[in-house]
Chains A and B, each alone.
Chain A
Amino acid sequence: MRDEENIARRLQNREPEVWTGVYEEYFPKVYRYILVRVSNRTEAEDLTEQVFLKALESVDSFKWRGIPFSAWLFRIAHNQVIDFWRTVKSKVSLPLTDELVSEDVDPETTVERNLDVKQVFQALGQLTQSQREVIELRFIGGLSVAEAAKVLRKSEGAVRVMQHSALAALRKRLSSGEEHEKGL
């Protein structure tokens, strides 16, 4: 914790090497998190840049209360995405499509249990908003339960329960997707 506090203080002093370290570590994670939530590469790029510029802008207001900097950063990302959806006319999420798969990655690339990447994102898109949020923060953003709890402003216990139900719902969607693929 003392390390985290020290990092926060050095970020407030705008020490370039600390900011560069934070930027390099979190930029791809924040980008992934945002892209999965907005399903549009151009918007995800703009929003990701804004997250870091806003963090730089408002780091002076960051008060050390035991909240890790990563949670604070993802809170900014979370709010950026909410603002984004507020400003677009349609409040219905775009389907999670090929847009999410990098151009240099074959969409048929298989992940755990030979599911393809597209199948996973499709299943994720069928979850409820709160189920998606917890999965996106934990397994796409790479946050711990404690950090995700700070972003979502819930207790750690509540996040653990949400995580369980979200994974159960995802597993169900993935299984039905697999059966559909096999023509069952």
Chain B
Amino acid sequence: MKKGFEDILNICLDRISEKGDSIEQCLRDYPEHAAELEPLLRAAISVSEASSTISPPPEFQRLAKYRFLSALHEKGPQKGERRVGRLLKWQRGWAIALAVVLALFLTGAGTVTASASSLPGDTLYPVKTATEKVQGFFTFGSEAKAGHYMKLAERRLNEIEALARQDRTIPQSVLDVLNEDTEQALELLIKHKPAGKGLIIRLLAVTANQKSVLERVMEQVPPQAKLKLKEALTRSEQAHGRASLLEEIYPEMEKFKENKSVPWHKSGNFFNAEPSES
């Protein structure tokens, strides 16, 4: 079928934009249309080149990306399940915490001290986690709580490494708590505007360490255990990515703290992931 001029024009435009052909190459293939084609192709290229000089301001781009990734994280499909799971664990945790307080009255602090080196599956492990919950209850302020969650995440990571070393099964619940504590710390740093930079850097170190330890553990465990470790690793990497963005936008957050103008966002709320009504 004979091609019409519109088709030929479009073929040339696609060749130029997709294959990087020159105008001259195209004109050579369609000499009978060259006179008409050339000015149209040049007009199209001029628009394309002019628009390539437009780019979003880098500080806006960074903040927008951060807000978008936060919204994506909020809307994650497993979010609802995680909340319910966390709530159930929280209730169960508090029942155990109450038992710990009672146990302290009855047996003294020795049991709690002995539980510190226990691993998941050990008899004293519930005492260890319940003690942590009591400590969390008496930790006040977003920054201190974020630090507490990071410390817990570090402990869970040590436990995972120890279990792998002893060829013991790594329970899914420990991997979940590792990720949840890390994410809790991150959320607290986000909500606390701005968190101290030291804490952000610590979280970056915590998540980077998670990556290297989980990768190492993955090599030690049997194949059927690799998948759950891979999932935990992915969540750790995501938390690391979000912490990196947080570090990147730290100077803007400082400006925000000082009430400097933030022309790229009218609401003045850096962490407002909801689209404003137009």
Contacts and interface: CB of A to CB of B under 8 A. Distances in A.
B43 A102 contact: no
- Contact residue range for chain A? 35 or more
Given A112-B45, A120-B47, A121-B50, A164 B40 contact: yes
Given A112-B42, A171-B43, A139 B53 contact: no
A70 interface: no
Q: Interface majority SS on A: helix, strand, loop or mixed?
A: helix
A132 to B, nearest CB: 10
B19 interface: no
Contact of B5 (A28, A57, A83, A164): A164
Interface stretch (A1-9, A19-27, A61-69): A19-27
Given A14-B76, A112-B49, A160-B6, A144 B14 contact: yes
A125 to B, nearest CB: 12
B68 A23 contact: yes
26 contacts: A16-B69, A31-B54, A32-B51, A35-B54, A36-B51, A45-B60, A46-B266, A46-B276, A46-B278, A47-B278, A49-B68, A50-B278, A56-B72, A84-B278, A101-B53, A101-B54, A111-B49, A112-B45, A117-B50, A139-B51, A157-B6, A160-B6, A163-B6, A163-B9, A171-B40, A174-B46
Contacts of B92: none
Nearest to B48: A139
A42 B267 CA distance: 12
Nearest to B10: A160
Interface in A63-101: 80, 83-84, 87, 100-101
Given A83-B278, A117-B53, A140-B51, 10 more contacts: A14-B75, A27-B56, A53-B68, A53-B273, A53-B275, A54-B275, A112-B45, A124-B47, A160-B6, A160-B9
Nearest to A33: B51
A161 interface: yes
Contacts of A170: 43, 47
A164 B10 CA distance: 9
Interface of B: 5-7, 9-10, 13-14, 17, 39-40, 42-51, 53-57, 60-61, 64-65, 67-69, 71-73, 75-77, 238, 263-266, 273-276, 278
Nearest to B76: A14
B55 A28 contact: yes
A131 B208 CA distance: 51
